[in-house]
């Protein structure tokens, strides 16, 4: 079930009840109200196409309730080409050609866990439903214009989300790929969580430390050690 974040929110800015309770203090802040006003106007602008679809802005929150979060994989902003963004970091709808970074993620999973991945299916919904919070730092983007919603307020909100998870949960695995994601490390308490870091899985950097990082097996080893169910990567 979904509930409006506040009486000032447009209907599409919804979030599930569990996350609403956890983030309620933030929804009364000026930062949130300013962000809502900006995003509303962007989607109402007939001269712009905004990704993802309005109903998918909070897909990560929908599929991974706060109580179910075991792993956080942080992306930067949504894919900006048509039909790709679906509200989950790195994920694309089934049937689309895998973006290069996701293809490299699948390659590393195969190498690390000795499993076969379906390179025709880039939909990571099952990861999300299994406890992997696939969070982009910026949740919207103008079509074909990467980082177009940078510094509009999303980062302040998602920083709050990351710190909330760190403060209020125990033994979560935070997977930080690339310098942007690693810049969020200061929000995470490394005394009670596992932080896994490497270069980004992009073809431009994957061979400089992403391949061979074994983050997927390390993640599951940690979850098993702390008596949490492992992720079916």
Which among 72, 46, 88 is positioned nearest to 161, based on CA atoms? 72
Which among 207, 175, 202 is positioned nearest to 188, based on CA atoms? 175
Catalytic residues: 77
Q: What pLDDT is recorded for position 184?
A: 97
Hey, where are the domains in the chain?
Answer: 2-225
Threshold 0.85, pTM exceeds: yes
- Asked if residue 71 has pLDDT above 60, the reply is yes
Burial class (CB in 10 A: 0-12, 13-18, 19+), 215: buried
Q: Where residue 15 falls among pLDDT bands split at 50, 70, 90?
A: confident
CATH topology assigned to domain 2-225 = Uracil-DNA Glycosylase, subunit E (3.40.470)
Residue 99 Rama label (left phi>0; alpha psi -120 to 50; beta)? beta
- Asked if residue 13 has pLDDT above 60, the reply is no
3-state secondary structure of 51: strand
């Amino acid at each position: 079930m979904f509930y409006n974040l506040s009486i000032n929110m447009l209907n599409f800015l919804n979030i599930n009840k569990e996350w609403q309770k956890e983030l309620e203090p933030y929804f009364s802040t000026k930062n949130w109200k300013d962000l809502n006003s900006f995003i509303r106007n962007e989607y109402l602008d007939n001269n712009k196409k905004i990704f993802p679809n309005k109903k998918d802005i909070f897909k990560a929150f929908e599929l991974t309730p706060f109580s179910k979060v075991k792993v956080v994989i942080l992306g930067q902003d949504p894919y900006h080409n048509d039909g790709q963004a679906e509200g989950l970091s790195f994920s694309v709808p089934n049937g689309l050609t895998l973006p290069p970074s996701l293809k490299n993620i699948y390659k590393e999973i195969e190498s690390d866990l000795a499993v076969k991945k379906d390179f025709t299916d880039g939909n990571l919904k099952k990861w999300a439903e299994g406890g992997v919070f696939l969070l982009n730092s910026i949740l919207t983007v103008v079509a074909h214009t990467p980082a177009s919603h940078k510094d509009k307020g999303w980062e302040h909100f998602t920083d709050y989300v990351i710190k909330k998870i760190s403060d209020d949960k125990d033994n979560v695995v935070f997977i930080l790929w690339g310098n942007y994601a690693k810049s969020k490390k200061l929000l995470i308490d490394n005394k009670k969580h596992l932080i896994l870091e490497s270069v980004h899985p992009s073809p431009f950097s994957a061979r400089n430390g992403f391949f061979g990082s074994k983050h997927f097996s390390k993640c599951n080893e940690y979850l098993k050690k702390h008596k949490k169910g492992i992720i079916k990567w």
